[in-house]
Chain A
Amino acid sequence: NAGVTQTPKFQVLKTGQSMTLQCAQDMNHNSMYWYRQDPGMGLRLIYYSASEGTTDKGEVPNGYNVSRLNKREFSLRLESAAPSQTSVYFCASRFLTGYNSPLHFGNGTRLTVT
């Protein structure tokens, strides 16, 4: 049982390049999330999808787009990467949007934008 799988694990981009971060979960979870983690800032929510077919902005959505491709997959796209988007990106999922359902995280994608 793989849980939450993110690809790639590492990526280096030049300013202005685009890329898509992939996330898939095999736990039949309804809700999926994208966070970024920067030193001293904790985990900040970029976008989330409470259920298949819906997406909503989090705290820091600017410069990103998302697609909930199906129940398993939730991708994050950077259309024109900027150095400020250098960060570690985590995908997470949970079974229900109800209160008694913790998040399960992937192992992250480490992105550097030069």
Chain B
Amino acid sequence: GQQLNQSPQSMFIQEGEDVSMNCTSSSIFNTWLWYKQDPGEGPVLLIALYKAGELTSNGRLTAQFGITRKDSFLNISASIPSDVGIYFCAGQPADRGSTLGRLYFGRGTQLTVWP
């Protein structure tokens, strides 16, 4: 099956620091999505990327769709305590014949922010 490698698995940072996490795939994707999950809730979409090389921001968050179409990264600038949570990448393979309708998820990055 499809594999998405998300790293790092966890991060412990101080408030105000910048954060970077990434996701790589073994095959070409045509969509990359980044989600955040707060404790006890479902994942919420942060940023969606649909084009190779695309760089998109959402407040302090910036994500990029890698030009090889096999990777994506998410940056958080000037972290604050409410950034705590699990961040997931997800992708839609370009080969939709065998995987129509499916998104694949990374295993998540657990972010802890110390005040």
Contact = CB atoms under 8 A, between A and B. Distances in A.
B92 A99 contact: yes
A104 B45 contact: yes
B9 to A, nearest CB: 8
29 contacts: A41-B107, A42-B6, A42-B106, A43-B88, A44-B105, A48-B101, A48-B102, A50-B100, A50-B101, A56-B101, A58-B102, A59-B1, A90-B42, A90-B43, A92-B42, A97-B100, A97-B101, A99-B30, A99-B31, A99-B92, A99-B96, A100-B31, A100-B48, A102-B31, A102-B33, A103-B33, A103-B90, A105-B35, A107-B40
Interface of B: 1, 6, 30-31, 33, 35, 40-45, 48, 50, 88, 90, 92, 96, 100-103, 105-108
A58 B48 CA distance: 23
Contacts of A97: 96, 100-101
Nearest to A9: B40
B101 A31 contact: yes
Contact of B103 (A103, A106, A107, A108): A103
A108 B45 CA distance: 15
A42 B42 contact: no
Interface residues of A, number: 26
Nearest to B48: A102
A53 interface: no
B107 A107 contact: no
B18 to A, nearest CB: 24
A27 interface: no
A92 B41 CA distance: 13
B30 to A, nearest CB: 5
B61 to A, nearest CB: 15
A112 to B, nearest CB: 15
B41 to A, nearest CB: 5
A42 B43 contact: no
Nearest to A40: B107
Contacts of B1: 59
Interface string A71-114: 00000000000000000001010000101101111111000000
Nearest to B89: A42
